[in-house]
Structure 1
Amino acid sequence: MKKKIAIIGAGFSSLAAASYLAKAGHSVTVFEKNATLGGRARRLSKEGFHFDMGPTWYWMPDVFEKFFLDFNKKPSDYYQLEKLSPAYQVYFDKNSSITIEDDLEKIVETFEKIEKGSGKKLKKFIHTARENYKIAVEKMVYKPGDSILELISLETALRVNQFFSTIKKDVRKEFKDERLRQILEFPVLFLGAKPSNTPSFYNFMNYADFGLGTWHPKKGMYAVVEAMVTLAQSLGVKFQTNANVSKIIVENGNAQGIVVNNEELFFDAVLSGADYHFTETLLDSSYRMYSEKYWETKTFAPSSLLFYVGFDKKIENVEHHTLFFDTSFEEHAKEIYDTKQWPKEPLFYASFPSKTDAYFAPNGKEAATFLIPLAPGLEDNLELREKYFDIIIDRLEKLTGQSLKKFVLFKESFCVADFIADYNSYKGNAYGLANILTQTAFLRPKIKSRKVQNLFFTGQLTVPGPGVPPSIISGKIVSDKILKYLSS
Structure 2
Amino acid sequence: MKKKIAVIGSGFSGMSAASYLAKAGNEVHVFEKHSGPGGRARQFSTDQGFVFDMGPSWYWMPDIIENFFADFGYTGNDFFKLISLSPQFEIIFSDQKIEVPKDLSELISVFEGMEKGAGKQLQKFMHDAKFKYTVGMQNFVNKPCHNWKEFISPQLIKSALKLNLLTDFRSYVSKYFKSDKLRTIMEFPVIFLGASPKAIPALYSLMNYGGYALGTHYPMGGFYQLVLAMKLVAEKLGATFHFNHTVESINVEKGKVTSLKINGECSDFDFVIASSDYHHTETLLPIAFRNYDESYWGKKTFAPSSLIYYLGINEKLPNLKHHTLFFENQLDEHIDCIYEEKMWPENPLFYVCCPSKTDKSVAPRGKENLFLLMPLAISINDEEFIREKYLSKMLLRIEKHTGVKDIRSKIEYKKSYCVSDFISDYNAYGGNAYGLANTLGQTAVLKPKIRNKKLNNLFYAGQLTVPGPGVPPSIISGKVVANQIINSKF
TM-score (norm 1): 0.98
Does residue 429 of the first structure (1) align with residue 418 of the second (2)?
no
Task: Report the counterpart of residue 333 of structure 2 in structure 1.
Answer: 331
Does residue 258 of the first structure (1) align with residue 260 of the second (2)?
yes
Does residue 464 of the first structure (1) align with residue 478 of the second (2)?
no
Residue 345 of structure 1: CA displacement? 1.0
Q: Which of 249, 252, 260 is 2:251 aligned to?
A: 249
**What does 1:85-484 correspond to in 2, within 5 Å?**
85-93=86-94, 95-157=95-157, 158-160=159-161, 162-403=164-405, 404-484=407-487
**Letter of the structure 2 residue corresponding to residue 285 of structure 1:** I
SS at match of 2:40: coil
SS at match of 2:487: helix
Q: Deviations over 1:338-371 (max 9, x none)?
A: 1111111110001000101111111110000000
Question: Retained in 2: the 8 A contact 1:140–1:150?
Answer: no
**What does 1:52-67 correspond to in 2, within 5 Å?**
52-67=53-68
Within 2, Cα distance between the matches of 1:388 and 1:152?
Answer: 49
Give 5+ residue unaligned stretches, structure 1. none
Within 2, Cα distance between the matches of 1:178 and 1:358?
Answer: 37
- Give the stretch that moved more between structures: 429-438 or 397-406: 397-406
Residue 318 of structure 1: CA displacement? 1.4
Question: Retained in 1: the 8 A contact 2:350–2:373?
Answer: yes
Residue 482 of structure 1: CA displacement? 1.0
SS at match of 1:159: helix
Equivalences, count: 486
Within 2, Cα distance between the matches of 1:409 and 1:400?
Answer: 18
TM-score (norm 2): 0.98
Residue 154 of structure 1: CA displacement? 4.2
Task: Report the counterpart of residue 20 of structure 1 in structure 2.
Answer: 20
**Letter of the structure 2 residue corresponding to residue 142 of structure 1:** N
Residue 156 of structure 1: CA displacement? 4.1
Q: Deviations over 1:417-446 (max 9, x none)?
A: 000000010010001000011100111111
Within 2, Cα distance between the matches of 1:40 and 1:257?
Answer: 26
Percent same amino acid among aligned pairs? 49
**Letter of the structure 1 residue corresponding to residue 20 of structure 2:** Y
Residue 159 of structure 1: CA displacement? 3.4
Q: Deviations over 1:306-326 (max 9, x none)?
A: 000000111111110110101
Q: Deviations over 1:161-186 (max 9, x none)?
A: 71111110011222111111100000
Question: Retained in 1: the 8 A contact 2:327–2:350?
Answer: yes
Question: Retained in 2: the 8 A contact 1:31–1:240?
Answer: yes
Question: Retained in 2: the 8 A contact 1:41–1:54?
Answer: yes
Question: Retained in 1: the 8 A contact 2:435–2:464?
Answer: yes
**Letter of the structure 1 residue corresponding to residue 43 of structure 2:** R
Within 2, Cα distance between the matches of 1:54 and 1:189?
Answer: 15
- Give the stretch that moved more between structures: 404-413 or 136-145: 404-413
Does residue 49 of the first structure (1) align with residue 50 of the second (2)?
yes
Residue 466 of structure 1: CA displacement? 0.1
**Letter of the structure 1 residue corresponding to residue 25 of structure 2:** G
Q: Deviations over 1:233-256 (max 9, x none)?
A: 111111111111110010011101
Within 1, Cα distance between the matches of 2:284 and 2:84?
Answer: 42
Question: Retained in 2: the 8 A contact 1:6–1:257?
Answer: no
Within 1, Cα distance between the matches of 2:217 and 2:383?
Answer: 34
Question: Retained in 2: the 8 A contact 1:305–1:413?
Answer: yes
Question: Retained in 2: the 8 A contact 1:135–1:155?
Answer: no
Within 2, Cα distance between the matches of 1:448 and 1:299?
Answer: 21
Within 2, Cα distance between the matches of 1:400 and 1:147?
Answer: 52
Residue 153 of structure 1: CA displacement? 3.9
Question: Retained in 2: the 8 A contact 1:145–1:463?
Answer: yes
SS at match of 1:301: coil
**Letter of the structure 2 residue corresponding to residue 6 of structure 1:** A
Residue 119 of structure 1: CA displacement? 0.3
Question: Retained in 2: the 8 A contact 1:257–1:269?
Answer: no
**What does 1:67-78 correspond to in 2, within 5 Å?**
67-78=68-79
SS at match of 1:396: helix
Task: Report the counterpart of residue 2 of structure 1 in structure 2.
Answer: 2
- Give the stretch that moved more between structures: 158-167 or 186-195: 158-167
**Letter of the structure 2 residue corresponding to residue 223 of structure 1:** Q
Within 2, Cα distance between the matches of 1:366 and 1:31?
Answer: 35
SS at match of 2:415: strand
Kindly report the root-mean-square deviation, in angstroms, between the aligned alpha carbons of the 2 structures.
Answer: 1.1
Task: Report the counterpart of residue 82 of structure 2 in structure 1.
Answer: 81
Within 1, Cα distance between the matches of 2:453 and 2:160?
Answer: 32
SS at match of 1:308: strand
Residue 160 of structure 1: CA displacement? 3.3
Residue 411 of structure 1: CA displacement? 0.8
Question: Retained in 1: the 8 A contact 2:90–2:321?
Answer: yes
Residue 155 of structure 1: CA displacement? 4.7
- Give the stretch that moved more between structures: 154-163 or 325-334: 154-163
Within 2, Cα distance between the matches of 1:370 and 1:331?
Answer: 20
Within 2, Cα distance between the matches of 1:430 and 1:43?
Answer: 16
Question: Retained in 1: the 8 A contact 2:125–2:176?
Answer: no
